């Protein structure tokens, strides 16, 4: 069947000297680095929603379909969904990437009841399963859309109405079970409206308890059905709500510790969400790695002149090197991967623009990873860090971690005449070292 992407070529790797805009210049899937191929390190995935569901509308052009795709013009929503599915897997084949990911409502339209919605989704995901097998495409993760419909305007698990909570739980149950059936590597909970607009009508303690119970029930069901993947939370500080309970990686970790879930749930970090929280991307990755909850990455970027979530393709590998270095230090992905939660600009209306966006995004991520890997292998920064903290491997450091009291430490300082002096952190030198590898 002909789709919007049928006339596009299959993207191949041609190397850094290539001038072909429809070829990979840095993403050589089979190149071995640090003992694994780039495809195994990056585990890239194409996202369903921005690519095949977004019509190009924005807040100043609601209902205005800018992207002319055949499924947008089909009056029957179920038929349109099957047309969209055909187009999506055609697009996946052009890119040659190993994974895809979806929300339930991306794939299937909503019916009059949840039972009807589930039946429609079942048919489409059964068709998707066949296409996955034929095209050798895996599922990085699935999730349920608990934010678009008006019923979720006050949140799903944190909603003041227990019926909304129950509806969201039923929706997650079905999406999680399908993620398991499709061999999904992870299941994501994006708490798009799990937060508050005003404390004047909010019982914050109650809502956090509801959120904790909801997440615990998801983990319980994961084990009940034998899902071997990872449950992921995607931190986001704001938008659409004024304040969201999953603000950043550290906040999520505190939440997980409170409910005893820190060994069950990890984070899916989005670049643009990190910067909206006032952090650098590498800070969020390093924090998650240090706390043992690093899971997966949403590879997009924001616009430094705009204060909202713009979901643009990554195009600056230099900015990503520190985050890639943190990921390499921590051992890389386990079940996670690099999904492109990004969309073309509203003026980029042709199917080829989507292809070029992903090519550029993959090349950017690959180049950043290659630079970070070379930097890591050089050992230059690792030696600096080891030397800087070397004292903690000595007698004093061991005594401190061995339980030395304040009295003990005061005695040591006075007895040994300790009078520490400042030592340079050599930041400029280290930044120059990084620049030598990018």
Task: Indicate the annotated binding residues for Mg(2+).
Answer: 234, 270, 273, 298, 309, 311, 341
Query: Residue 129 to residues 89, 123, 235, 239, 337: CA-CA distances in angstroms?
Result: 11, 10, 29, 33, 20
Sort strands 265-270 and 294-298 into parallel, antiparallel or unpaired: parallel
CB 429, CB 380: distance < 8 Å: no
Specify which residues 143 forms β-bridges with: 103
Closest CA to 143 of 232, 258, 37, 70: 232
How far apart CA 181 and CA 132 sit, in angstroms, is 12
Tell me the C-alpha distance between 429 and 46, whole Å. 38
Active site residue ranges: 103, 106
CB under 8 Å, gap of 24 or more: what pairs does 85-88 form? 85/124, 85/127, 85/128, 85/131, 86/1, 86/3, 87/3, 87/4, 87/5, 87/52, 88/46, 88/48, 88/51, 88/52
Q: Is 191 helix (H, G, I), strand (E, B) or coil?
A: coil
Extended strands (E) in 237-382: 243-244, 265-270, 294-298, 338-340
Burial degree of 197 (CB within 10 A; 0-12, 13-18, 19+): middle
d(CA 116, CA 109): 10
Pairing of strands 36-37, 32-33: antiparallel
Residue 143, classed as helix, strand or coil, is strand
Q: Taking Cα atoms as reference points, which of 59, 81, 55 lies closest to residue 67?
A: 55
Measured CA to CA, the distance from residue 60 to residue 263 in angstroms comes to: 43
DSSP 72: G
Helix (H, G, I), strand (E, B) or coil at 196: strand
| Burial 217-242, CB ≥16 within 10 A → b, else e | ebbebbeeeebebbbbbbbbbbeebe
């Amino acid at each position: 069947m002909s789709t919007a992407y049928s006339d596009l070529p299959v993207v191949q790797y041609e190397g850094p000297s290539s001038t072909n805009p429809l070829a990979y210049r840095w993403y050589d899937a089979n190149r071995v680095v640090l003992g694994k191929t780039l495809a195994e390190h990056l585990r890239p995935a194409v996202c369903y929603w921005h690519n095949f569901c977004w019509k190009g509308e924005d807040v100043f052009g609601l209902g205005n379909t800018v992207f002319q795709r055949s499924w947008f013009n089909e009056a029957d929503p179920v038929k349109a969904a099957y047309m969209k599915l055909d187009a999506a897997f055609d697009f996946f084949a052009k890119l040659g990437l190993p994974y895809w990911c979806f929300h339930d409502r991306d794939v299937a339209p909503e019916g009059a009841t949840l039972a009807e919605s589930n039946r429609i989704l079942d048919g489409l995901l059964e068709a998707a399963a066949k296409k996955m097998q034929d095209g050798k495409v895996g599922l990085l993760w699935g999730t349920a859309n608990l934010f678009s419909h008006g019923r979720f305007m006050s949140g799903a698990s944190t909603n003041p109405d227990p019926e909304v909570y129950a509806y969201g739980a039923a929706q997650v149950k079905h999406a999680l079970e399908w993620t398991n059936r499709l061999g999904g590597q992870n299941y994501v909970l994006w708490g798009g409206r799990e937060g508050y607009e005003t404390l004047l009508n909010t019982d914050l303690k109650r809502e956090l308890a509801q959120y904790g119970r909801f997440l615990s029930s998801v983990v319980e069901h994961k084990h009940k059905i034998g899902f071997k993947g990872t449950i992921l939370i995607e931190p986001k500080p704001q938008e659409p709500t004024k304040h969201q309970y999953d603000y950043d990686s550290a906040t999520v970790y505190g939440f997980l510790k409170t409910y005893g879930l820190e060994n069950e749930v990890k984070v899916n970090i989005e670049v643009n969400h990190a910067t909206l929280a006032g952090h650098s991307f590498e800070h969020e990755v390093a924090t998650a790695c240090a706390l043992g909850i690093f899971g997966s990455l949403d590879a997009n970027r924001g616009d430094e002149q705009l204060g909202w979530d713009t979901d643009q393709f990554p195009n600056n590998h230099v900015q990503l090197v520190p985050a890639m270095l943190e990921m390499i230090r921590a051992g890389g992905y386990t079940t996670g991967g690099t999904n492109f939660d990004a969309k073309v600009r509203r003026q980029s209306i042709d199917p080829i623009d989507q292809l070029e966006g992903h090519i550029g995004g993959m090349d950017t991520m690959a180049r950043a990873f290659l630079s970070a890997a070379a930097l890591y292998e050089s050992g230059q920064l690792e030696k600096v860090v080891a030397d800087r903290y070397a004292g903690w491997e000595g007698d004093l450091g061991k005594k401190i971690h061995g339980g030395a009291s304040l009295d003990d430490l005061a005695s040591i300082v006075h007895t040994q005449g300790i009078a520490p002096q400042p030592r340079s952190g050599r930041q400029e030198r280290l930044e120059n070292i990084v620049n030598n590898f990018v």
